[in-house]
Amino acid sequence: MKRVSFLLVFIISFFILKIKLLAISDISISSYNISPIFDKNIHVYNVYVEENREIITLQVNKEENEIVTGSGSKSLKKGLNVFIINEYEGEKVDNSYTINIVRGDYISYDSSYLSNLTIQGYDIDFSKDKYVYIIDVHDESFLDVDYSLESSLSSARLSGDLFLNKSENTINIKVTNKDKSSSKVYTIIAYKEKNSEVISNISNKSNVKYIVFLIFSIAIFIFLFIYHIFN
């Protein structure tokens, strides 16, 4: 019975591993960069091409037996073009990737988003529509913040208390789209524990009490000494 159970677990694990290995390994467009860089856990990408570009080829790297739809040669209209790449597990869609291709200028497309935001050592559960992140830091003297832009044509400015000099530190990332018609601010609020400060305060207070006690004891000793001499 144990052998049968072990064999069953092995077979299931093998198929799970095989499914993972069959995942799409890359999505690309010849001569153009997609933003952000492909990651199987990121499902929306943006590409900007010249206004005179009418056809592009959407390339997908996959295993030979993997079923994927949506790749190949694509005709482009001016402005925003949206293409969906579906990855199948059996007859069901297992993963979908959205490719936004902008031909020429397309002001209506709001590209003032981050596609990813990470803080080394912390899990912040990033979402591009979530603009405030609150964390409690410990003994760090610097916060390592990294981010990616949803559009390669956007710009971002990082400012704030990266060196964690205060008990409440605010860090802002302002993302602005190409024509500066739209901007968004992502805020990180880092609360720093005051353990060392509290210990220092306690130590200082203890020192003051000790000095007062010492002066008071010396005064009593002198008083008793003088009293003993004259009596």
Q: Are residues 206 and 231 in the same domain?
A: yes
Single out the residue in 80, 103, 126 at which a domain terminates.
Answer: 103
HSE (CB half, 13 Å, CA atoms) of 106? 21
Single out the residue in 46, 76, 103 at which a domain terminates.
Answer: 103
Spell out the residues 6+ positions from residue 17 whose beta carbon is closer than 8 angstroms to its own: none
Instruction: Give domain status of residue 124, yes or no.
Output: yes
Q: Are residues 188 and 131 in the same domain?
A: yes
CATH number at residue 67: 2.60.40
HSE (CB half, 13 Å, CA atoms) of 212? 6
Query: Average pLDDT of 188-206?
Result: 62
Burial of 4 (0-12, 13-18, 19+ CB in 10 A): exposed
Instruction: Give domain status of residue 1, yes or no.
Output: no
Q: Are residues 180 and 209 in the same domain?
A: no
Instruction: Give domain status of residue 38, yes or no.
Output: yes
Q: Are residues 155 and 175 in the same domain?
A: yes
d(CA 33, CA 44): 14
DSSP letter assigned to residue 229: H
| Element containing residue 196 per DSSP (H, E) | helix 195-229
Q: Are residues 88 and 155 in the same domain?
A: no
**Is residue 159 scored above 80 in pLDDT?**
yes
Q: Are residues 97 and 27 in the same domain?
A: yes
Q: Are residues 26 and 99 in the same domain?
A: yes
Q: Are residues 147 and 214 in the same domain?
A: no
From first CA to last CA, the distance across the chain in angstroms is 101
Q: Contact at 8 Å (CB) between 79 and 102?
A: yes
**Is residue 122 scored above 90 in pLDDT?**
yes
Q: Contact at 8 Å (CB) between 164 and 142?
A: yes
Residue 151 tokens read as 């559009």
Query: What CA–CA distances, in Å, run from 152 to 31, 119, 214?
Result: 15, 21, 68
Single out the residue in 81, 103, 125 at which a domain terminates.
Answer: 103
CA-nearest of 87, 78, 23 to 52 is 78
Instruction: Give domain status of residue 9, yes or no.
Output: no
For the chain, what is the domain count? 3
Q: Which domain holds residue 46?
A: 22-103
Q: Which amino acid is at 160?
A: G
The pLDDT tens digits for 163-174 are 999 999 999 999
CA-nearest of 169, 163, 171, 166 to 194 is 166
Q: Are residues 99 and 27 in the same domain?
A: yes
The pLDDT tens digits for 32-57 are 888 888 988 888 888 989 989 999 99
Instruction: Give domain status of residue 75, yes or no.
Output: yes
Range in 1-15, 53-67, 146-160 the model is least confident about? 1-15
Phi, psi at residue 143, to the nearest 5°? -105, 120
Instruction: Give domain status of residue 108, yes or no.
Output: no
Instruction: Give domain status of residue 94, yes or no.
Output: yes
**Is residue 150 scored above 80 in pLDDT?**
yes
Q: Are residues 29 and 83 in the same domain?
A: yes
d(CA 173, CA 158): 5
d(CA 101, CA 53): 11
The pLDDT tens digits for 88-107 are 888 788 888 999 898 887 54
